[in-house]
Each structure stands twice: as C-alpha cells, then as structure tokens.
Amino acid sequence: MSDPQRLASLFQRYRERLDLTKAQLAQRAGVSASFVTYIEKGQRRPSLEMLTRLMQALDLTASEKRELLRAAGYQPTEELMPRLGDITELLRDLPLPEREELTEEFFRLISRWRELRRKRVRRAVIPIAGWQPRLLSPEQLGKMLRPALEETALAGLSEVVLVLAPGKAVPTLKLPRGLKVRTVVQEPQLGLGHAILTTQGAVGDEPFAVILPDDILLGEGRQCLRQMLALYEEYRCSVLAVTGVEGAADFKNYGIAQLGKPLRENVYLVKELREKPTTGRHTGLTIVGRYVLTPQIFEALQATTPDKNNELQLTDALNLLSRRQRIGAFVYTEKLFRVTPIKILLEQLIETLDESQPERLEQAMQITRKALQELTAL
Ligand code: G1P
C-alpha cells in the first residue's frame, strides 16, 4: 500500500536538504517540474522507473531509498528488479534504432537468465514410494520426512518433489518457510532408479538433489547437502555422499563405492560403484542417500539395464554416467542413523530362528521391535 502523504513529505525533505528547487530537481532527474509538484502534493504515485531516477537525483542512502520505496508502495527489493511493464514503457519512448539495440540486449539477458537458472540446483527429489513408506500413515510419513525437509531448506533449495506410491495420500507435512512441494506418482514399483526417472518431467533440464529419507543425518551432518551443492557449483559434476563402514556385514545392503583421485580433503572422483554386491572385495565405503545429479542422469537411467529383480538402480546409472562425466564423492564423517529396511530385519530374524536357542529368538525379536519403534518415532 502506498502512503502519498508520507511520500510527499519525505520527498520534500530530501529535496530541500540538497537546496534544490522543484525545477532543479526535475532537471537533474530528467522529469517535468510539474511531476515533482504533483508528488510533493501527494497527488501522484511515480512509476518504479521514475522513482528510481528521482532517488538517484536525490543522492539518497540505501535506507532512505528503502523508506521512499515503501512510502510509494513498492517492495524495497523491487528496486533491483525492473518489472516488464517498466522496461516496455522505457523502450516505447526510444527512437527506433536504440529501441532495437536495447530489445536485442534484453533478449540476450533473458537467455542468460535461462542459462543461469538451468545451472542452479533448486529442487530436491525425495522418493517415498518404496515398501517401507507404504506401511506408514500420512502423519507418520510426515514425521519421517521432517529431517529431510529441514536439510533441503538448510541447503537453500526452494522445491521438493515427492515421489509417491500410487493411491497413497500426500504426507502431512510441516514445511519450512519458502519450501514448495510437488508430487509425482511412481506407477510400477521398479526401484530407486525408476523413481528418479519418474521425476524427469518435474525436474526438466536442471541439476537436482536427491534425499533418501531413511538415511538420517544428525548434528553437523545436516549441512551435508549444502556442502555437496557447493562442490557441485565448483566442479559442475554430479556428487554423491559415501561413508566408511567397519566390517563386511552391511555391504550386501548398500551401494558400494570405489574411489579414485582425490580432489581435495574428503572429496574424490568416483572410480566404480556397485549396488549391493554379494561377492567381491569390499571397499569400506557405502553410498549414503544424498546425491546432487546433473540432468544427464535421466539419459543414463534410460540406458541402464534393470537388475535381476527387474529394478532400475540409480547406482548402475551413475556408473554409466561416470564414463561420460566425472562424478565426485563426498566422504561423510558425521553421525548417521540408518533406518534398517524391514526386509533385512525379517531376514535377520529368520536366520536366528532356532527353537533350541529360545534366548536368541527373544534377542532377535527385541532388535526388530526396537527398530520398528525407531522407525515410527521419527
Ligand atoms: C539405496 C541405494 C544404495 C544406497 C542406499 C543408502 O538403496 O540404492 O546405493 O547405499 O540407498 O541408503 P535402498 O535403500 O533403496 O535399498
């Protein structure tokens, strides 16, 4: 809302401070003297372009400019953002050759803007169409997603793309300020790679982040995605997070990374990735569910062969992509809580089923119960 009286009095004060008559100020700003009179009588609201010119002629400080803009009914940030209407008005006043020249310049700016936008990461894809999230109610899912949403906001991203299972209600979300949500539905359940492929229309030709919410990063670890985005900005390549694991037990449940040349402390080039290998030597590093991906991942996913369970693996697509583009690995060293998939818990339980050892059975039941409690308490 503009406040013409306040605008008029501020305006007059600033003009008189410079000892300028209305006509002198008008001349300095390249406007008519009657225009200045109208403003000072509170009878005219200047366009943003006019006001900008007048503010320059009045030699104002940044805070004085903000005050004047507000009194004229403009958001102070608008000063930095000419509106399309102002530009058109400006162009219309110019002789044809200059108008042509500026119009060309304007279109060059627009395509530069598009290019910049294409290169900036704005979105995080969060897949929740797998077996675990299907077991949860919208409220429970909402709770489970809270840390992932906070991480997204901490990383400065503005949109989340949720991948939902068909027929599943949108989770009850408490969204951090400034974060928008879009949803896509993954029709057949064909693995993480397929879930990512489903978001191609929503993501377009832009880099994007992926958060797998069952890997929960704690404490300083919540900055992981933000740090990975800084790496993307610097190296302009996909980046994934990896973490060191002791013992071989976990390797068949995660993606495994073999790293190459170091780029800097805790950052390496990826040499090879393997998804849940059952044989071979383990490298000591598993993939954590945080990725920043270039849009070429979509072509790589399309070219990837499904695994033996007919699932499309993101890890396999990344391996394929690494032949065309370098991929960075960020070694995550902070606290990590991994929600163990129920399938694995059941496997562990079944392995220990032995009637001759009832105490081991009880122990396995306890582990399962505890894990389920942790899962639903998130
Ligand atoms: C996915 C990835 C795997 C990664 C894991 C991290 O597996 O495919 O490479 O190590 O997330 O949580 P999923 O949990 O979907 O089986």
Q: What is the DSSP string of 105-137?
A: HHHHHHHHHHHHHHHS--EEEEEE-SHHHHTS-
Give residue for tokens 């582990």: 367
Q: What are all long-range contacts of 370-377, with beta carbons under 8 Å and residues at least 24 apart?
A: 371/339, 371/340, 371/342, 371/345, 372/342, 372/345, 374/337, 374/339, 375/132, 375/144, 375/339, 375/342, 376/136, 376/140
Q: pLDDT-derived band of residue 252, with 50, 70 and 90 as boundaries?
A: confident
Q: Looking at residues 345-365, what average pLDDT do you find?
A: 73
Query: For 336, how many CA atoms within 13 A lie in the half-sphere containing its CB?
Result: 21
The percent of residues above 90 in pLDDT, for the chain, comes to 54
Atom 11 of ligand 1, nearest CA residue: 289
Examine the pLDDT at 349 and tell me if it is beyond 80.
no
Query: 338: burial class by Cβ within 10 Å (0-12, 13-18, 19+)?
Result: middle
Cα separation, 255 vs 317, in Å, equals 12
CA separation (Å) from 367 to 52, 305, 340, 341?
67, 36, 11, 13
- Alpha carbon separation from 220 to 116, 144, 225, 334 (Å, rounded): 30, 19, 11, 7
Q: Calculate mean pLDDT across residues 95-109.
A: 88
Confidence at residue 364, expressed as pLDDT on a 0 to 100 scale: 73
Question: For residue 64, how many other CB atoms are within 10 A of its CB?
Answer: 16
Relative to the CA of 192, which ligand 1 atom is closest? Answer: 15
Q: What is the mean pLDDT of residues 12-35?
A: 91
Segment 307-317 mean pLDDT? 95
Position with higher pLDDT, 353 vs 62: 62
For residue 289, the CA-to-ligand 1 centroid distance in Å is 6
Local confidence band at 345 (pLDDT 50, 70, 90 cut-offs)? confident
- Which residue bears the tokens 């990374």? 257
The pLDDT of residue 374: 65
User: What are the angstrom distances between the C-alpha of 211 and each of 25, 115, 124, 335, 347?
Assistant: 56, 25, 7, 16, 26
Q: Is any atom of ligand 1 closer than 6 Å to the C-beta of 215?
A: yes
pLDDT of 361 strictly over 80: no
CA–centroid distance, residue 209 to ligand 1 (Å): 15
Say if ligand 1 is within 6 A of residue 315 CB. yes
The closest-lying atom of ligand 1 relative to the alpha carbon of residue 254 is: 10
| Closest ligand 1 atom to Cα of 191 | 15
pTM score, whole prediction = 0.69
Extended strands (E) in 20-170: 123-128, 159-164
Predicted pLDDT at 332: 97
Who wins on pLDDT, 176 or 290? 290
Ligand 1 proximity of 216 Cβ (cutoff 6 Å): no
Mutate to test the pocket of ligand 1, among 196, 211, 216, 287 (most ligand atoms within 8 A of CB): 287
pLDDT of residue 74: 87
Nearest ligand 1 atom, CA 287? 10
What's the confidence (pLDDT) of residue 78? 53
- Give the residue-averaged pLDDT of 344-365: 73
Query: What's the half-sphere exposure (Cβ side, CA atoms, 13 Å) at 232?
Result: 25
- Contact residues for 109 (Cβ-Cβ < 8 A; gap 6+): none
The CB-side HSE value for 154 (13 A sphere, CA atoms) comes to: 17
Q: Which of 189, 192, 339, 342 to mutate to test the pocket of ligand 1 (most atoms within 8 A of CB)?
A: 192
Question: Tell me: the pLDDT tens digits for 215-245?
Answer: 999 999 999 999 999 999 889 899 999 999 8
193 close to ligand 1 (CB < 6 Angstrom): no
Give the tokens for residue 128.
């929740």
Longest CA–CA span in the chain (Å) reads: 103
